[in-house]
Amino acid sequence: MATTKKRIGIVGARGHTGAELIRLVAAHPALELAYVSSRELDGQRVDAHVSDYKGDLHYSSPAHEDLPGLDADVVVLALPNGKASVCVEAFDAAGKYPVIVDLSADYRFDNDWYYSLPELTRNKWRGEKRISNPGCYATAIQLSVAPLKDVLAAPPVCFGVSGYSGAGTTPSDKNNPEKLRDNLMPYSLTGHMHEKEASRHLGVPVEFMPHVAPHFRGLTVTTNLYLSRALKREDVLARFQYAYEGEKLVRVVDEAPWVSQIANKHHAEVGGFAMSADGKRVVIVATLDNLLKGAATQAMQNINRAIGVDEYTAIPV
């Protein structure tokens, strides 16, 4: 029996994460692109920019109040922070309620939205159609801390380094290859959005110090955790293996993973588990591709569940 594909619109499709989503949708058996929006690429063929897409679609540039009329079943907002609400309000005003997945930070603190990091929140999903996708560093931090939440003696301290695609396409020091050459650029060393986000969703405070590096994609977070009682390395490892057992997109590895090996991969890796001699301190390293498990792949997991297909559909695992 032929099945009808769900139609998906991507708002902000010129960006790094939007382009990754177009790739994922192009390989999806149950989704087809309804529209992809970009002001800059308006009118241009999508296949001229995303070679994995085979079809005749062109970028368009609808006003936000025209989005509801485009009748997509799923809408992904891949806009810079602060730009999502006008789009969401347009759907409300039109009385249209597609699945909306927001990639920005705009709804990660909003109780009316479902914050979805599937490996940690899957059992809380009650069919919500407004889904806030986690931040890239915040994903790595939460995966590193969650299995040890009940034995923390102090806020975990997380040292993060991201490739510069994490800073989007709007020109800034953080995505300027000249300024990044031979450099490691610290920024937002206290109070970064992902410090607040991870603290809120873990339910314990974390401290986070981000940096951006000259490579394009992939991030690494090294987390120092003080423990309230001494643990053996095998106990720590067992907690992580139990927490992520059967997860196709979170791999627990023995050695500390390298960021160079995670670019273009859809999963996250968590490893290292270096213990202090007294067993009351452990250092954990997590890596993921900020554009994939840190954004588009995680969004696709969330979309898949929302449209009722297997969570890993179209995700190479």
Ligand X SMILES: CC(=O)N[C@@H](CCC(=O)OP(=O)(O)O)C(=O)O
Ligand Y SMILES: NC(=O)C1=CN([C@@H]2O[C@H](COP(=O)(O)OP(=O)(O)OC[C@H]3O[C@@H](n4cnc5c(N)ncnc54)[C@H](OP(=O)(O)O)[C@@H]3O)[C@@H](O)[C@H]2O)C=CC1
Q: Compute the least distance from the CB of residue 226 to ligand Y, in Å.
A: 29
DSSP 187: -
Selected binder of ligand Y within 9, 15, 156, 272 (CB under 6 A):
15
> Distance (Å, rounded) from C-alpha 71 to C-alpha 133?
22
- Using CB under 6 A, count the residues that bind ligand Y: 29
Name the one range near ligand Y by CB under 6 A: 162-170, 194-202, 206-214, 253-261: 162-170
Give me the phi and psi of 254, to 5 degrees please: -75, -55
Give the pair of three-digit tokens for residue 44.
Answer: 């241009």
Selected binder of ligand X within 15, 147, 210, 257 (CB under 6 A):
210
Contact mark string toward ligand X, 137..166, x via CB under 6 A: -------------------------x---x
> Distance (Å, rounded) from C-alpha 280 to C-alpha 277?
8
Our finding on whether 136 is near ligand X (CB under 6 A) is yes
77-to-10, 67, 157, 172 alpha-carbon distances in Å: 6, 11, 31, 22
Q: Compute the least distance from the CB of residue 129 to ligand X, in Å.
A: 20
Q: Compute the least distance from the CB of residue 254 to ligand Y, in Å.
A: 27
Our finding on whether 303 is near ligand Y (CB under 6 A) is no
Selected binder of ligand Y within 75, 76, 79, 237 (CB under 6 A):
79
DSSP 50: -
> Distance (Å, rounded) from C-alpha 201 to C-alpha 272?
24
CA nearest to 299, candidates 160, 80, 111, 99: 99
Q: Is 254 left (phi over 0), alpha (psi -120 to 50) or beta?
A: alpha
Our finding on whether 78 is near ligand Y (CB under 6 A) is yes
The residues in 94-113 that bind ligand X, with binding defined as CB under 6 A, are 104-105
Residues 44-50: contacts with CB under 8 Å, at least 24 apart: 46/13, 46/22, 49/14, 49/19, 50/19, 50/22, 50/23, 50/26
DSSP 213: -
Measured from the CB atom, the residue of 37 and 139 that comes closer to ligand X is 139
Measured from the CB atom, the residue of 65 and 235 that comes closer to ligand Y is 65
**Cα end-to-end distance, the chain, whole Å:** 27
Q: Compute the least distance from the CB of residue 230 to ligand Y, in Å.
A: 36
Q: Compute the least distance from the CB of residue 100 to ligand X, in Å.
A: 15
Selected binder of ligand X within 15, 18, 135, 272 (CB under 6 A):
135
Contact positions vs ligand X (CB under 6 A): 81, 104-105, 135-136, 162, 166-167, 174, 193-194, 210, 212
Contact positions vs ligand Y (CB under 6 A): 12-18, 38-41, 78-81, 83, 103-104, 135-136, 165-166, 168-170, 290-291, 294-295
